[in-house]
Amino acid sequence: MKTIILLTTFTTFFITTIFAQSNYYFLPRGTHFSGGLFSAAPTNSIIFPKWRGEEEGLVKQPILQEWYSPKLGGYVEVAYNFNEDKPFLVGGSFRWQALFKDTYKETQSTNSGQYYSAEVDWKFKKAVRYFNFNLFAEYSFLRYRNFSFFGRIDAGIGNYRMKQKFGWDIDAYDTVGKGPKFRESEIVLSADLGLGVRWQFNHSTSLMLSAGYQLQTINDFARREYVSSFQGHLKDDGYMPTDASFWRTSDYFAGRPVRVRNEFLYFKVGITHQITGADFRDFMAEKPVLYLYPEDTTEINVQVELNNHEMIFDYPSYNNGWTVTATPSGDLYDQAQKQYYCLFWETEGPAIANNLEEGFVIHKSEAVAFLENKLAQLGLNARESNEFIIYWLPKLQQSEYSAVYFAFDEYEDIAKLKISPKPDQLIRIMMLFESLDAPIKLKEQPLPETPKRFGFTAVEWGGSQGAFFNKKYISNL
């Protein structure tokens, strides 16, 4: 009854909130942890009655006939989501549930001649629990606003565990006894098919409701009739009870059933929360390149001052800085007169931005025009813009959409350039972008006026791909 009330309440909550939000979120890429309530009832062969038909010597479990009052259990899951628009999760699940729990109590007199007579209260507890560990794959085949409808397949291993425990107490003598414990278990293999709905009510957290059907291999243990036959008996010999005074009826009268087939119809309700982003590495300032355009051929020293970052790649070799001879055309020469057209390095460290709510959202078909327009606005010439696009365009076209943000102050905080002699104009571009399966809602980022190139001009561009944005669905999709 509690399960029905809970599921009804949760379903009503889904329906009443479906039109409540104006911002539509999706399940982000990355690792997610889930937990919640789980309850299952053994059934007959509903899905494959012909394939799993009658067999000689096989006990089948008609729905609710055996375990007519299954208790609420729970589950925990860890999974990785590979797609945001139509989530595809792969992970592991652990479930548990009490199928049966009973306590038998009895009071009996003990007599030891004329000296005393006492009442012994004794009890026998028995319980059956089912544990299940699965590997699963879940795919959302339909999305509407904040809701995604998914199918799921699980395969794993289950364990039935039964425990019996004896005990007694004698009030008159303030005596308490903890009798013997008996345990039995059985291992089964299982496979599940399920359907469900997920409500993504904010960027990182969702509620989930699902139902499914589990098929199991044949076991020879968990039948209610067998468990119920287990009973403790007190030896009526007129003396105080001891461990030897108790035995299991089934040890003498009730053997284990030979072949039992269980199938489970189950329901789950729970919450899913993102615990890591899709990109596990730290922020990488990828391919910053520096061009130097002095008015006259000049020897120039360049140093990169990093804050909480470290340089992981460089060319030419960065030995506490670069010292090169630069010409007005931008050609660079080291002390051995080896020629370069730019200085290159990459750094790695903590992310310089997250949960960004402004930027640009572009479709992959618009990437070329977007880059040509914005790079010109930010001050790159035709050659620099061409090299930028050649490197970054393939990355922007890996997915249907991309969110883009140009970092200025954020980048300056982690990597400062110290150039001697000091340039008259320094242009720095660091493009942050994130691949998307669907467009998101961002406030358009205001960009500075196009800088004028004069005197000694230094130009740097670079970029980084990662999880930088606060993602929301566009409301008119």
Q: What is the pLDDT of residues 114-140, one digit of tens each?
A: 455 677 777 888 888 999 999 999 999
Question: In terms of residue numbers, what domain contains 34?
Answer: 2-276
Is the pLDDT at 143 greater than 50, yes or no?
yes
**Has residue 473 been placed in a domain?**
no
Residue whose structure tokens are 């409540």: 20
User: What CATH code is carried by the domain that includes residue 10?
Assistant: 2.40.160.20
Contact residues for 9 (Cβ-Cβ < 8 A; gap 6+): none
Domain closes at, from 276, 307, 324: 276
Please tell me whether residues 391 and 430 are part of one structural domain. Answer: yes
**Rounded-to-integer distance, Cα 201 and Cα 194, Å:** 22
Please tell me whether residues 294 and 368 are part of one structural domain. Answer: yes
Residue 395: C-alpha distances to residues 236, 274, 378, 451 (Å): 83, 25, 20, 27
- Least reliable range by pLDDT among 48-57, 203-212, 428-437: 48-57
Contact residues for 103 (Cβ-Cβ < 8 A; gap 6+): 123, 124, 125, 126
Please tell me whether residues 333 and 442 are part of one structural domain. Answer: yes
Is the backbone peptide bond immediately before 451 cis, with ω within 30 degrees of 0?
no
- As a whole number, mean pLDDT of residues 448-466 equals 93
Is the pLDDT at 183 greater than 90, yes or no?
no
- Least reliable range by pLDDT among 49-53, 152-156, 178-182, 309-313: 49-53
Please tell me whether residues 260 and 351 are part of one structural domain. Answer: no
Please tell me whether residues 35 and 104 are part of one structural domain. Answer: yes
Is the pLDDT at 23 greater than 80, yes or no?
no
- As a whole number, mean pLDDT of residues 151-171 equals 88
- Output 357 or 467, whichever has higher pLDDT: 357
Number of domains in the chain: 2
**Rounded-to-integer distance, Cα 441 and Cα 360, Å:** 9
**Has residue 111 been placed in a domain?**
yes
**Mean per-residue pLDDT of the chain:** 83
Q: What is the pLDDT of residues 397-423, one digit of tens each?
A: 888 899 999 999 999 998 999 999 999
φ, ψ dihedrals at 227, nearest 5°: -65, -40
- As a whole number, mean pLDDT of residues 313-340 equals 93
Contact residues for 351 (Cβ-Cβ < 8 A; gap 6+): 282, 283, 466, 468
- As a whole number, mean pLDDT of residues 346-361 equals 87
pLDDT of amino acid 114: 47
Residue whose structure tokens are 């309850």: 39
What count of residues does the chain have?
A: 477
Q: How confident is the model at residue 309 (pLDDT cuts 50, 70, 90)?
A: confident
Domain closes at, from 276, 299, 334: 276
Please tell me whether residues 246 and 290 are part of one structural domain. Answer: no
Domain closes at, from 243, 276, 309: 276
Is the pLDDT at 279 greater than 50, yes or no?
no
Is the pLDDT at 270 greater than 90, yes or no?
yes
Output the pTM of the full model.
0.61
Please tell me whether residues 97 and 139 are part of one structural domain. Answer: yes
pLDDT of amino acid 22: 46
Asked whether the CA dihedral 186, 189, 193, 196 is positive or negative, the reply is positive
- Least reliable range by pLDDT among 19-23, 50-54, 60-64, 419-423: 19-23
**Has residue 195 been placed in a domain?**
yes
Please tell me whether residues 217 and 355 are part of one structural domain. Answer: no
Rg (CA), the chain: 35
**Rounded-to-integer distance, Cα 223 and Cα 291, Å:** 78
**Has residue 383 been placed in a domain?**
yes
Helix (H, G, I), strand (E, B) or coil at 251: helix
- As a whole number, mean pLDDT of residues 428-436 equals 92
